[in-house]
DNA sequence: CGTAGCTTTGAAGATTTTCAACCTTAGTGG
DNA sequence: CCACTAAGGTTGAAAATCTTCAAAGCTACG
């Protein structure tokens, strides 16, 4: 009983191997459990820019953890165009939407050379039914993804182009920071077009906004390199755009 | 072993009591399991139009199953406005996004007199770690919610007002049908404003679109009563709006 | 019957998209 | 080493869609 809960440090070490920080950091796992979790993780070869992690329609076997690099997930329009539905940074898990159908409902492609780990879901499920805290952690993980999507949804249905881009940049910044990178300076691994697709804007609109934010002294933009100069100002734009265009209902009571 | 898997019929009967068709129908549960599942469900009193199921910030204890009626979930803007993030029909489960934070991240209010069941999540989790198929079903449930959100996200970032409304109506229609109601004729329990908020459109735009779809012979609209007259045409609008405004990327390979 | 709330409709205004041209960067091959 | 090309990015002007503001109509409910 005394050593039932392993220290965070030990978990971190164990997880450094499996890149499962996301999964196992906040749990109380025994060393034994960690070992078993570690045993089911497969490290895949590094993927090159443009390679697919999985494609829409592929049978579902694994969840994937982004170890390094960036992954975009997207759906295809009937006319062959891509609709970006997410960008995924190191430590994030993708493929969660496929559990339901046993088929991947979108495609995932790496935006730069990336390392991706595989998590065979059947094994994970088995393990979860033995390790209660792992089960709980998985529920939380799925729930978190739902929260993220809901937030994004709320963003897209409410806001102006400016608010969308500001929110997008702050979100990216936060995620970089959580992963131990600089909060106010980072590289965009995606193109203006991909950002536009994700935010529901034309690529020209994205470009113009970058220019404007730079003119206003809020950002420094140099192609894909972004520096946030005035974070507070950016945060204001993210909440209330210049001319507040309100699609919200006034409370009815 | 012979009677390990209970028949669908028996499950249906058991579930009629607890409105858990969504949860237990596709599973292989023993009669014993069903009983245990049934035992943790609490039937709440009927809620009146405008009552809250839960509010943003409430501590998370239960998931909720809509038994009859309609529920809207929404977040509040700083300025007091409401941003609708979902409409929920009988058989659907709400509160899934709160697992992660132990707090509800949005509010839920019924749009008409509704019956809502409570599912204490702690109990559900305990049960899931004993019943493997229940665990699996819960994972699927959460995954499905993610898929739904992703689809919605894809819709909002891509499309024109017309495409959004057409998709919205087809989605509602499908969900009505799945629940055994008429597919081409139903009542909207939400206002134009709420639809607009959900779809990211001004309420006037929604109203105008209803008028136009009626003029085109695609719908019959009479306040909240909707009849779909030309489903195929509506489906075309949902995929490719009149003047295809494309925020999609052309595939780069 | 009258008021309150929702819906419809019109016209003006704003934001965003589209089309088009041009610029920049990086990579390739002569 | 330089010119050339392709891809991505920027910028401008016109066009379209959607929102906003305003007013009037309809329904329901007390």
B53: domain CATH number?
2.60.120.10
Radius of gyration of chain B measured on its C-alpha atoms: 20
CB B187 within 8 A of CB B194: no
Provide the domain limits for residue A35.
8-150
Domain-located, residue A246: no
A168 and A45 within one domain: no
Interface touch A132/B135, C-beta < 8 Å: no
Q: Give me the CA B251–C1' C11 separation in Å, rounded.
A: 41
B92 and B71 within one domain: yes
* CB within 8 Å of A13: residues ≥ 6 apart: none
B104 and B12 within one domain: yes
The count of structural domains within chain B is 2
A240 touches chain B (CB under 8 A): yes
B166 and B142 within one domain: no
Choosing from A150, A183, A218, the residue where a domain stops is A150
Please calculate the CA angle B195-B198-B203 and round it to the nearest 5 degrees.
45
Output B20 or A43, whichever has higher pLDDT.
A43
Rounded CA-CA distance A5/B105 in Å is: 30
B174 and B146 within one domain: no
Q: Per-residue pLDDT tens for B62-105?
A: 999 999 999 999 998 766 689 999 999 999 999 999 999 999 99
Choosing from A150, A173, A205, the residue where a domain stops is A150
Domain-located, residue B253: no
Instruction: Tell me how crowded residue A109 is: count the other CB atoms within 10 A of its CB.
Output: 20
Residue tagged 């007199």 (tokens): B113
Interface touch A247/B154, C-beta < 8 Å: no
C-alpha B232: how far from chain center: 23
Closest-CA residue in chain A for B132?
Answer: A129
Rounded CA-CA distance A153/B85 in Å is: 7
Interface touch A198/B157, C-beta < 8 Å: yes
Closest-CA residue in chain A for B142?
Answer: A142
B150 touches chain A (CB under 8 A): yes
Please calculate the CA angle A240-A246-A249 and round it to the nearest 5 degrees.
125
Q: Give me the CA A204–C1' C20 separation in Å, rounded.
A: 12
Domain-located, residue A1: no
pLDDT at A8 over 70: no
Output B9 or B39, whichever has higher pLDDT.
B39
**Residue A38 confidence (pLDDT):** 81
Q: Mean pLDDT score of chain A, rounded to an integer? A: 85
Domain-located, residue B213: yes
Rounded CA-CA distance B1/A201 in Å is: 58
B174 and B129 within one domain: no
CA-to-CA separations, B12 to A219, A229, B128, in angstroms, rounded: 59, 60, 20
Output A113 or A241, whichever has higher pLDDT.
A113
Q: Full-prediction pTM beyond 0.75? A: yes
């Amino acid at each position: 009983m005394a050593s039932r809960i392993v220290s965070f440090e030990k978990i971190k070490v164990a997880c450094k191997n499996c890149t499962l920080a996301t999964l196992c950091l906040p749990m109380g796992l025994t060393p034994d459990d960690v070992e078993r979790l570690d045993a089911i993780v497969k490290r895949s070869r590094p993927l090159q820019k443009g390679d697919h992690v999985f494609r829409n329609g592929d049978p579902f076997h694994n969840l994937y953890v982004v170890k390094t690099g960036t992954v975009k997930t997207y759906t295809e329009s009937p006319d062959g165009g891509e609709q970006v539905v997410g960008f995924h940074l190191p430590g994030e898990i993708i493929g969660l939407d496929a559990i339901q159908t046993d088929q991947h409902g979108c495609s995932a492609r790496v935006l730069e050379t990336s390392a991706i780990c595989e998590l065979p879901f059947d094994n994970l499920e088995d393990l979860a039914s033995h390790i209660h805290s792992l089960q709980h952690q998985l529920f939380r993980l799925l729930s978190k993804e739902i929260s993220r999507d809901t937030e994004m949804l709320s963003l897209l249905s409410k806001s102006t182009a400016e608010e969308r881009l500001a929110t997008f940049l702050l979100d990216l910044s936060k995620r970089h920071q959580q992963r131990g990178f600089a909060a106010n300076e980072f590289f965009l691994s995606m193109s203006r077009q991909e950002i536009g697709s994700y935010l529901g804007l034309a690529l020209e609109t994205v470009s113009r906004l970058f220019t404007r934010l730079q003119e206003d002294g809020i950002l420094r933009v140099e192609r894909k390199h972004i520096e946030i100069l005035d974070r507070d100002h950016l945060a204001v734009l993210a909440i209330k755009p210049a001319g507040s265009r309100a699609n919200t209902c006034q409370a009815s009571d």
